[in-house]
Structure 1
Amino acid sequence: MNHDDSVLLHTEGRVRHITLNRPHALNALTHAMVRRIDAALAEAEADDSVTAVLITGAGERGLCAGGDIRWIHDDARAGVGAAMDFWRDEYRLNARIARFPKPYVAIMDGITMGGGVGVSAHGSVRVVTERSRVAMPETAIGFVPDVGGTYLLGSAPGELGTHLALTADAVGAADALLCGLADHFVRAQRLPGLTTALAGCGTAAEIERTVRRHASPAPSGELAAHREWIDSCYRADTVEEILDRLDNSGVPAAKQAAATIAAKSPTALKVTLAALRRARRLPGLEAALDQEFRTSCVAYARPDLVEGVRAQIIDKDRSPRWTPAELAEVSEDEVALFFAPLGARELGLDPGSRTTGRGSRTTD
């Protein structure tokens, strides 16, 4: 498959369809795909005959598993620096999606993770199904949530976002709705009917009514029942204290979360917690993306990213050797380096006002 058909474009009625078309790689995003999606959105925005955009993933397994991390691994290992150009364009695309002036309908069916969240959860109409598995799994590979993930998770109710960011856990439809990562639940068997119905919609209001007509209540999730210990434990100021609270909570699920977190990159964990807390104080999505570009560029040059991808994806031995190996060895000064301005290399998205993304921080 060449790059030209890794993203398929066509129009049905008044809806412009964008289909991620690398099913053999779970539709993982390449740089060429990011550029093609961005160009398609620019065209759709300027075309008065287009009412809305619909993004889906080819194949049966999911919308998108994220960025092409094998390629990022190879690029980082060789020190080429192409990944930073990829992230620059990817994060700009995330911002474009958030401020797209027409309905942007994302079908988050199946696996929707990392970069897949970036091309879906910033949209105006986000649909999950009973097959959805939504996650920001970056800490598992020695990386830090990006593509606006710190903004989205930082805006989730209570400390749910902190739990998902540190554990890298995937959630189903109900929990994605609870966390503000999606808007509607539509059963997978109803998606073809929804797609057909959307083609005839001429306004944003008609799009919304049509989606609601095909939607139904999601099956029960898991996180709502755990809110008490999640909010209590993850409210702590440091990763070490969070782990201590989880371990001593007396709740089996909390103890399991502690074990899950303890296996992740100590550096990634501390930077992720700092990034989430900082994101809550930032004016909006673009400012968070600017911050994420800084953390990504620093993580790129550190050994944990290459090692994490090796352990999880390349060799699949699931035994990463983190550097450093212990939380106590990651100082506050080390964490601060991830947030230092990049000078001329800054992403430079934050205009102070462009968009606040998917709404303001919730506190319930």
Structure 2
Amino acid sequence: MGEQAAEKTAATDEVLFERRGRLGVVTLNRPKAVNALTAGMAAAMLEQLTRWAHDDDVAAVLVHGAGERGLCAGGDIVAIYRDMLDGGDATADFWAVEYRLDLLISDYPKPYVAFMDGLVLGGGVGISAHGSVRIVTERTRMGMPETTIGFVPDVGGTLLLSRSPGETGTHAALTGAHLNGADALFLGLADIFVPSDRLEELASALETEAVDAAVARFAEPAPDSVLAAQQEWIDACYAGDDAEEIIRRLRTVGGEAVDVADTIEAKSPTAVKVALASVRRASGLTLAEALQQEYRVGLRFLAGPDFREGIRAQVVDKDRTPHWKPASIAEVGRDDVEAYFAPLGERELKLSKERDNV
């Protein structure tokens, strides 16, 4: 991103902050972990972005990831796993800061440019897709894969997916599918397509040029979205609030929809049903309300068996054979799902004061 001297204000080596010309640059700096987000990184970003929001010398902000693999592979789920084993509150505290960061980004008073190149998963979606200038490339692989690890989309993902065309957001939430740049644009998770080999040049241009003009010079037409071509059968199959019925319709349609049904049935049954309810309930909410809802749901998953088991199977032991409890979607009752959305009382996430700070 240019060789000029930069004003550096890093609070942790895991995330770096520089001012290049009139551009504030955020570099997620854990390349070996595909820049997975830690509590310290989220707190440092929240502090620095709040400071830059009031700095007249900063006209715009850019967030990107170090290394070649992606912007951010999500939250540090190994740290979450350890916290669950210890029975601690570190994860709840991390989410409280992370969600405040996501809300700040959505309300940011200056252009917030996200280079959504390579992997952009889970928490990586939160720090990018709520921004005002969201750029994908031919290398983008985006997703909310939480049902695979016994969890549900969060960081405002339920709200974003509830706004996608038809039922395509529901499909993305339940399957946890990785999306290419064209699909991300179709779902409304991104705005602009720029070839990955032009990003460095665009970043340099942003140091001195107005964001809209610079981005317009580098933007190119995106490839066709595969998801858009599938919307007709997706809309037909995913209508309604009954996960069992969705799976039945997918199997009736046949073809590639059968593979989708198999994919959903391999996920945590509880996570599938709660994810479906979460996306439905998010429709019409503000981002703050959606984040508060996701926080309630998240704390319930921390207390249950599937989140811990999903991380164990996928990331810790890597045997890819999670033992879900309950084991089938039919065993997850309506009351079981409703319990995930019950108020938290004193533990409710409070966000209004955070918004007033910017």
Query: Aligned pair 1:127/2:135, yes or no?
Result: yes
Structure 1 residue runs of 4+, over 6 Å off?
none
* Residue matched to 2:62: 54
**Cα deviation, residue 220, structure 1:** 2.3
Equivalences for 1:106-117 in 2 at 5 Å? 106-117=114-125
Counterpart Cα distance in 1 of 2:259 and 2:240: 18
1:233 matched to which residue of 2?
Answer: 237
Q: Which moved more, 1:190-199 or 1:341-350?
A: 341-350
> What do the CA deviations read for 1:321-346 (whole angstroms, capped 9, x no partner)?
00110112111111111100001110
Q: Partner of 1:302 in structure 2?
A: 304
Q: Does 1:255 align with 2:258?
A: yes
Which residue does 1:317 correspond to in 2? 319
Aligned residues: 346
Paired position in structure 2 for 1:337: 339
User: CA 1:340 to 1:350, structure 2 compared with 1: closer, same or farther past 3 Å?
Assistant: farther
Identity across the alignment (%): 55
Aligned equivalents of 2:93, 2:50: Cα separation in 1: 20
Displacement of 1:81: 1.8
Post-superposition shift, 1:305? 0.5
8 Å CA contact 2:74–2:123 kept in 1: the answer is yes
Query: Is 2:281 the partner of 1:278?
Result: yes
- Please tell me whether the aligned partners of residues 290 and 350 of structure 1 are also in contact (alpha carbons under 8 angstroms): no
Aligned residue among 199, 207, 213 for 1:199 = 207
**Separation of aligned partners in 2, 1:281 and 1:10:** 37
Q: Secondary structure at the match of 1:4?
A: coil
Match of 2:112 in 1: 104
Contact kept? 2:11, 2:44, Cα under 8 Å: no
Q: Which residue, 286, 289, 292 being the options, matches 1:287?
A: 289
Structure 2 distance, partners of 1:182, 1:212, is 15
- 1:57 maps to a residue whose letter is G
What displacement does 1:347 show? Answer: 0.5
Letter in 1 for 2:305: P
Shift in Å, 1:40: 1.0
CA distance in 1, matches of 2:213, 2:243: 43
Cα deviation for residue 237 of structure 1 reads 2.1
1:347 to 343, 349, 354: 349
Measured against aligned partners, the alpha-carbon deviations of 1:190-209 in whole angstroms (never above 9, x if no partner) come to 111101111112xxxx2112
> Pick from 196, 204, 214: which aligns with 2:218?
214
Residue 43 of structure 1 deviates from its aligned partner by 1.2
Alignment partners' CA distance in 2, 1:265 and 1:174:
28
Q: Is 1:245 aligned with 2:246?
A: no
Which digits, 9 at most, give the CA deviation of each residue in 1:215-264, with x for residues without a partner? 101122211110100000001321100000000113x1111110100000
* Alpha-carbon distance in structure 2 between the residues aligned to 1:349 and 1:166: 27
Describe how 1:136-215 pairs up with structure 2 within 5 A: 136-201=144-209, 206-215=210-219
For residue 16 of structure 1, give the secondary structure of its aligned residue in structure 2: strand
Aligned residue identity for 2:321? S
CA RMSD of aligned residues (A): 1.4
Counterparts of 1:60-79 in structure 2, within 5 Å, are 60-79=68-87
Among candidates 264, 272, 291, match of residue 269 of structure 1 = 272
Amino acid at match of 1:278: R
SS at match of 1:248: helix
- TM-score, with structure 2 as normaliser: 0.95
Aligned pair in 2 of structure 1 residues 3, 22: CA closer, same or farther (>3 Å)?
farther
Q: Deviations over 1:247-297 (max 9, x none)?
A: 0113x1111110100000000011000000000032x11110000000000
**SS in structure 2 opposite 1:131?**
coil
- How far apart are the structure 1 equivalents of 2:191 and 2:130? 11
| In 1, Cα distance between equivalents of 2:76 and 2:146 | 13
Q: Which residue of 2 aligns with 1:23?
A: 31
